[in-house]
A and B are shown apart, each in its own frame.
Chain A
């Protein structure tokens, strides 16, 4: 079995991120304690999600240009794995929030109502709802070419509307979530230098893993749709 260089890189980076994430020193903050190590997993999921969605929309634009169904399959698969990463981001975030945000006097679910109002969570919910709608839209159109075209149009439209909103909403509402000044984790001063040594490799590793899963999905679909695709060319 031969692996492409970036797949090997993904394995190595993730091994480093998991081992380093658990063992290397982190700044001791009173509120966060050792839960700060979740940064290497939780934030990376969102990074991977946004990057995969971006790749998906690029394939949608390519489809609109060339009407090649292969691009439609790629756009769909990247969106699907991106959604999966988003769900993982939610669950890692929920674990984190139940330690840091939830009211310790009540059961964790009692804080749900106030936690869901977080602007970052609204943004994330919007992204997942949009891609949920994207899959519903796909499943409600029978004709293959039309499905590909219409869903590509929706993908482009929704993605371009999503971006200003992710940028706008945090500036409108109060928030406990770190990264109040717009783009969390992109600001170099936000993260301790020691954590950056693990964080950036972890982002890269998880994104590559997401891309790897997607390429497998795409290969399966291309084999399934072989007949149609070969008729087309």
Chain B
């Protein structure tokens, strides 16, 4: 119960901070809008395959940018304060949940702008929305952990990309593959469900690893 209280207080703090410093949030939104606008201008008419691939690439970069700041904004002094009043698992879990929520919102915004500018080649749009939300959960989980690691080093933003890309490849391949169900590609019976379960299992293992490993990063 105590741990849960800490967790919810930390989560509330994250959300409050975000709402008070709106510039970061608006910055993210503008980032999405201008990325998609550039794509729209350079790409013209995109085929389904290209559309799908570019969607996941934008999703990846949005995630890196959205999640990167979650540990950057923690000044040394404030980290020390957290260190003295909370447990590491409550802290990292609050970060994870907050980043998943943030990435969910950014994901919806990305989808809306993407379909508005680049059209909608999907045959079942709602399946694609579901898959993209599943994907954004996975991406934000992995990059939260990597942001925690990179925050201890110099040149954090670029380091996050270097550390993260090789790790995220399998998830991205699975997601690109899975989202083809929304483009009316025929799959073997039960294959999509298998991929979904695999992704959920990966997500779960990232959460477990974060809870196990974060206490070591935590102490300075």
Q: How far is the CB of B200 from chain A (nearest CB, A)?
A: 13
A160 B205 Cβ-Cβ under 8 A: yes
B169 A122 Cβ-Cβ under 8 A: yes
Q: How far is the CB of A163 from chain B (nearest CB, A)?
A: 10
B220 A146 Cβ-Cβ under 8 A: yes
CB-CB nearest 7 A-B residue pairs = A165-B170, A129-B166, A140-B153, A150-B152, A126-B166, A130-B166, A133-B162
The B171-215 residues at the A interface (CB cut-off 8 A) are: 173-174, 177, 198, 202, 205-206, 209, 213
Known: A141-B154, A164-B170, A169-B170. A153 touches B205 (CB 8 A): no
B153 A149 Cβ-Cβ under 8 A: no
Q: Is B3 part of the binding interface, using a Cβ–Cβ cutoff of 8 Å? A: no
Q: Which residues of chain A come closer than 8 Å to B152, judged between CB atoms?
A: 141, 146, 150
Secondary structure at the A interface, as helix, strand, loop or mixed, is helix
Contact of B177 (CB < 8 Å), options: A136, A154, A172:
A172
21 CB contacts below 8 A, A to B, read A126-B167, A130-B167, A140-B159, A141-B154, A146-B152, A149-B217, A150-B217, A152-B216, A153-B216, A154-B149, A157-B145, A157-B209, A158-B163, A158-B167, A161-B170, A162-B167, A164-B170, A165-B169, A168-B198, A172-B177, A173-B173
Chain B residue nearest to A164 in the complex (CB): B202
Q: How far is the CB of A191 from chain B (nearest CB, A)?
A: 27
A168 B149 Cβ-Cβ under 8 A: no
Q: Which residues of chain B come closer than 8 Å to A172, judged between CB atoms?
A: 173-174, 177
Chain B residue nearest to A168 in the complex (CB): B170
